[in-house]
Structure 1
């Protein structure tokens, strides 16, 4: 029965986060609340293996990531993906701003190894934190092993609310334009919200009768695209991250008619996979303790402040030349702190809570979500891999 207890606890934490987000109109994002609950649980009575006991372990999460990224490709078309090059540039330049301030000012305040160990999580989220932790162990720098994950824990507490605040301001600006008739929903784009998908007729795939287009038929096709993407990633020796290939191939498969709009929502498994992936991310918070964080909290706070300030300066200066508001540009840069799935959850929560109708929610989602997703992939899946490989050699 222990596995059922573990699953219930994990889902209760998710539920509390969602309810608080709803009550506060997304002023307090669900991922922020859920992260705090996991930290407090791990620091008190909750076993550190609770997420694995709830069945959300490494093999399941490997499946989740690939399937979800292919699914997200069905929310976009090729034209839209290419159109997000501005978001990619803003996000990457924000990362450069972080590197400049932390490596210059930070190096004057702290020793070199401390800065090198702490900066990657600011530019690549959890993946970068785990890679740097393993690198520190291999290099024998045991005194700093806890620093990368501790950095991830604390910058998540700062990054989630800050990103939510920026997106809410951007959402209110966009929805005002929509209400005043200055903007409209794209007629040709895929539907991005669950409500919009529910109103769409079942798409004919391969001219099969509707009764044969079962959820398993959708899952098989999504899994095939995910499998092909990971195989290509291996052939390329991960020169292009497999996660990025999953997204791109998902877009292509959708364009070719192999996958329908919003595939996993139509199959009814999207939320299950998303909760599993999110639970696994929060499980990494078990790697820290109050004593460990207490001993390095000063370094973490100062470096986070420098990193976010670097993102702010770069994105705010470049927002106007790239045709974005300062809030949208800064939010794109902040995706480097956490990446997928948090960027998806934060964005959809804000869109749902700012909107007062299904049409407004659809417009906000199609206006903001592609920028956040592509920005997150540019930083966490691409830039972070390069930055990690360089920084590990500098230890």
Structure 2
């Protein structure tokens, strides 16, 4: 497809989605609207399969996602990072909840695990394992499941996590948007009652320390050079540890640490010329899997998909809600943290920002609400999708075909 035409179509979709989100005060999030448009477009062949790739945004997004994660790290202070241990616990509880409820579903609808030789015919518990990995994780978890399933000749099980990955945003985005709107409305009341402080107001009470980064590196190319070097080091650490220390987790920690040491200013990419395009490109990563959906695959696996989503979301709500309540979080915030397992970054960032803008009536209110929600959602996405799910999936994938 012509690259300029593809780029224009993608921008048109995002313009419409952003307009709908603003008109509905984020009741319909821009991510959800764009997901629906792309899903229908790809499913009906109105959009060619190579639309996103031809726009060049898909490739750019894959390159700059690490840059944005370093940037997000610079928005979180060391003290804030320490305070988010509760979010990590809720995230871990979420993955456990998905696993427990899907195993229950496997015994109810599939009769549990049956003994016998495998001849390429899967059983219910294979879909359970695949569902746990894909519902709670991202690309790495899906690849782990696919490798295990194809290794024992179970093609349908290998397709299953791909379909979940492609469709889970369609469910996760609107649910999270609705729940975060409730939390944002509550936080607006807290702010007006004087019990919630805007980050900008808190920062104004202390002298802002100048960045230790040399002035000649404070330009757009200089900043991108330094942040790019941090991302490369993160990739190196990922490779040296065979993925145990994930690139994006390391990049987030580097961002937090470099801000704490004063080398990076808070919001390191704010104000550089390339930031807007970088943000648009990583949003496109969310829609990439939709181009792979085939109607026949969805029809063949419709029942397992429905069961996986119903029981998986029930597990998220139950376990995240209880864990969060015990730790002092509100139930809506706890469930929103749990739902990050369905999409991860950048959805965690975009939905938080939209909820804050939809509830806040002044820039100060928006900043206060976003400051209370965004750190939790960002760290939640890493605790579920990037860390816990990969560990859990790696442990249970071997059960496929056994």
* Secondary structure of 2:68's aligned partner: helix
* Secondary structure of 1:266's aligned partner: coil
1:204 Cα deviation after fit:
4.4
Could you say which residue in structure 1 is the equivalent of 2:255?
Answer: 250
Could you say which residue in structure 2 is the equivalent of 1:136?
Answer: 149
TM-score of the superposed pair, with normalisation by structure 2: 0.90
Superposed CA deviations along residues 339-362 of structure 1, whole A, max 9, x for unmatched, are 001111111111111110010011
How many residues align? The count is: 384
Rounded to whole Å, the distance in 2 between the matches of 1:84 and 1:314 is 18
Q: What runs of 5+ residues in structure 2 fail to find an aligned partner?
A: 111-123
* Secondary structure of 2:238's aligned partner: helix
User: What is the aligned counterpart of 1:174 among 180, 187, 204?
Assistant: 187
* Secondary structure of 1:265's aligned partner: coil
Does the C-alpha gap of structure 1 residues 13 and 354 become closer, same or farther in structure 2, counting only changes over 3 Å? same
Rounded to whole Å, the distance in 1 between the matches of 2:81 and 2:175 is 26
- 1:159-308 aligned at under 5 Å gives the runs 159-186=172-199, 204-206=210-212, 208=214, 213-308=218-313
1:131 Cα deviation after fit:
4.1
Q: Indicate yes or no: 2:25 matched with 1:19.
A: no
Rounded to whole Å, the distance in 2 between the matches of 1:229 and 1:207 is 19
Could you say which residue in structure 1 is the equivalent of 2:30?
Answer: 30
* Secondary structure of 1:166's aligned partner: helix
Q: What runs of 5+ residues in structure 1 fail to find an aligned partner?
A: 192-200
Q: Indicate yes or no: 2:4 matched with 1:4.
A: yes
Task: Say whether the 8 Å CA contact 1:75–1:261 is kept in structure 2.
Answer: yes
Rounded to whole Å, the distance in 1 between the matches of 2:16 and 2:144 is 31
Does the C-alpha gap of structure 1 residues 269 and 106 become closer, same or farther in structure 2, counting only changes over 3 Å? farther
* Secondary structure of 1:25's aligned partner: coil
1:47 Cα deviation after fit:
1.3
Rounded to whole Å, the distance in 2 between the matches of 1:207 and 1:380 is 32
Could you say which residue in structure 2 is the equivalent of 1:52?
Answer: 53
1:203 Cα deviation after fit:
7.9
Rounded to whole Å, the distance in 1 between the matches of 2:282 and 2:150 is 26
Rounded to whole Å, the distance in 1 between the matches of 2:310 and 2:217 is 54
Superposed CA deviations along residues 305-342 of structure 1, whole A, max 9, x for unmatched, are 11111111112222232111000011001111110011
Over aligned residue pairs, what C-alpha RMSD do you find? Answer: 2.2
Rounded to whole Å, the distance in 2 between the matches of 1:155 and 1:62 is 20
Q: Indicate yes or no: 2:371 matched with 1:369.
A: no
Superposed CA deviations along residues 211-250 of structure 1, whole A, max 9, x for unmatched, are 8731112111211211122222222222121110000001
Rounded to whole Å, the distance in 2 between the matches of 1:186 and 1:62 is 30
Rounded to whole Å, the distance in 2 between the matches of 1:160 and 1:360 is 23
